[in-house]
Amino acid sequence: AQRVTQPEKLLSVFKGAPVELKCNYSYSGSPELFWYVQYSRQRLQLLLRHISRESIKGFTADLNKGETSFHLKKPFAQEEDSAMYYCALSGGGSGNTGKLIFGQGTTLQVKP
């Protein structure tokens, strides 16, 4: 079964502390993995995707196929990073529609 698991509903850190939002997935095949973010009173938006291998707003995520994980990391959290973060999966392959399977989401709270 295709599944995305985010074990933490809430992660609270102080400004300047490192952040790691955990994401594990279950998928038979080669999925594409994403992190989406929803800031307060804003719409859901893409933060990063594993195939881009880029750093956005200081966040990075590495796909670990052995551990089936795609954890989101930032070395120094900022207050403006406070938001809801969703890990999502899309099936790979030419027949894939791109529909996303989301985790339950983790609320990141960065305290001053």
Please say whether the beta carbons of 69 and 85 come within 8 A.
no
Q: What is the β-pairing status of strands 106-111 and 32-38? A: unpaired
- Residue 26 found at the interface with other proteins (CB under 8 A): no
Quote the DSSP letter at residue 8: -
- Residue 32 found at the interface with other proteins (CB under 8 A): yes
User: Within the chain, where are the H helices?
Assistant: none
Sole window of 10-18, 22-30, 45-53, 58-66 interacting with other proteins (rule: CB under 8 A): 45-53
- Residue 46 found at the interface with other proteins (CB under 8 A): yes
In degrees and rounded to multiples of 5, residue 80 shows phi and psi of -70, -5
- Residue 28 found at the interface with other proteins (CB under 8 A): no
- Residue 5 found at the interface with other proteins (CB under 8 A): no
Sole window of 14-22, 58-66, 75-83, 94-102 interacting with other proteins (rule: CB under 8 A): 94-102
- CB neighbour list of residue 96: distance below 8 Å, 6 or more residues apart: 90
- Residue 10 found at the interface with other proteins (CB under 8 A): no
Angle formed at CA 43 by CA 74 and CA 106, multiple of 5 degrees? 40
| Residues of span 72-91 touching other proteins by CB under 8 A | 86, 88, 90
Query: In the complex, which residues of this chain contact other proteins (CB under 8 A)?
Result: 32, 43-46, 49, 86, 88, 90, 96-105
